[in-house]
Amino acid sequence: MVLLGLIIPASQIPDLTRDFLALKRRHFPGRFSYGPALDHALTEVKGSDILQMTRKNSRDRRRQASLVRYAILDLIDGYGCRVIGRVWVKEKGKSLKSDATYCYAVQDIAWHSSEFLLEYRSKGVMIADGRTPGLNVKVAHSIFTQKWRTAGDPYPPLLEVPLFSHSDNHVGLQIADLVASTLVLPMAAAAYGASPGCIHASSRYPAVRADHGEALRDLQYRYRDETAAGAAVSSSAIRPAAGPDRCSSGRVRARSG
């Protein structure tokens, strides 16, 4: 499971939006041959489609998928975006408690986003791709109970709890989804393996890691002498404690200074 955050400088959002729509039209012209240009935000390019192209025997289809990846990486690098997040590797015979791990990862992303904003003396908001209304409430409340506690706010640069939305009109969510699904996921599958018979146990995925791994690594936001943040990897053996407590109050970390 990949849970990824994309830090986007607010001043860059207008141009990033237009350039991403142009990227979609350039690489998938058949899907965007009609209608106003801004309406093309409503037609998403799914990561599952890119991965399917990646696994194809057709060299042309694999090359097209790779060109899309290069274009996405160049786009986010050109606009000063940074990647943070967490990859959960499921161990054979063990389950991941999705609600607990999702809450944990969102809290982690909130923490690292705050570090980024503190470094640049700025403020920001988190916009997350909505899941179910119930889970959205749990996740937002896990941040709410930390942010407004009397002991102090661990996320002072974040102006609000995470806001959940549909990705249709948020280019940042669409880009984050493509980075997570077409880059991080196949790289993780290549590095840590996938269950035999699973579609992600693909002999094509190591090429994704070889072609794009260095560029993705350079886009990770790191601090504390390069030891914190980036895209961390966890396994089900070290998953967070499960149950309602994880999503109702979450972990608490003190922030000094």
For the record, the structure tokens of 230 come out as 């980036």
Residue 38 lies in a domain: no
Residue 248 lies in a domain: no
Mean pLDDT for 25-52 is: 90
Q: Domain count of the chain?
A: 1
| DSSP for 193-227, written as a single string | ---TTSTT--TTHHHHHHHHHHHHHHHB-EETTTT
pLDDT tens-digit readout, 204-257: 999 999 999 999 999 999 887 666 666 677 765 433 333 333 454 444 444 544
Which domain does 68 fall in, by range?
A: 2-33+46-235
Residue 142 lies in a domain: yes
pLDDT at 128: 94
Q: Does residue 34 carry a pLDDT above 70?
A: yes
E-strand ranges in the chain read: 2-7, 82-89, 127-129, 163-165, 222-223, 228-229, 231-235
Lowest mean pLDDT among 37-46, 131-140, 196-205: 196-205
Lowest mean pLDDT among 92-96, 193-197, 245-249: 245-249
Residue 67 lies in a domain: yes
Amino acid code (one letter) for 211: D
Residue 26 lies in a domain: yes
Please answer whether residues 115 and 228 qualify as being in contact, where contact means their C-beta atoms are separated by less than 8 angstroms: yes
Terminal CA-to-CA distance of the chain, rounded, Å?
Answer: 34
Neighbours of 207 (CB within 10 A): 15
pLDDT at 187: 93
Provide the mean pLDDT of the chain. 86
Residue 204 lies in a domain: yes
Residue 213 lies in a domain: yes
Q: Of the spans 159-163, 198-202, 248-252, which averages the highest pLDDT?
A: 159-163
Please answer whether residues 99 and 247 qualify as being in contact, where contact means their C-beta atoms are separated by less than 8 angstroms: yes
Q: Does residue 46 carry a pLDDT above 80?
A: yes
Q: Does residue 203 carry a pLDDT above 80?
A: yes
What's the rounded Cα separation, in Å, for the pair 89 and 86?
Answer: 10
Q: What's the pTM value of the predicted model, to 2 decimals? A: 0.86
Mean pLDDT for 177-184 is: 95
The more confidently predicted of residues 140 and 251 is 140
CA distances from 48 to 53, 66, 180, 210, 249 (A): 9, 14, 11, 20, 34
Lowest mean pLDDT among 64-68, 108-112, 233-237: 233-237
Residue 155 lies in a domain: yes
Please answer whether residues 160 and 125 qualify as being in contact, where contact means their C-beta atoms are separated by less than 8 angstroms: yes
High-pLDDT (> 90) share of the chain, %: 61
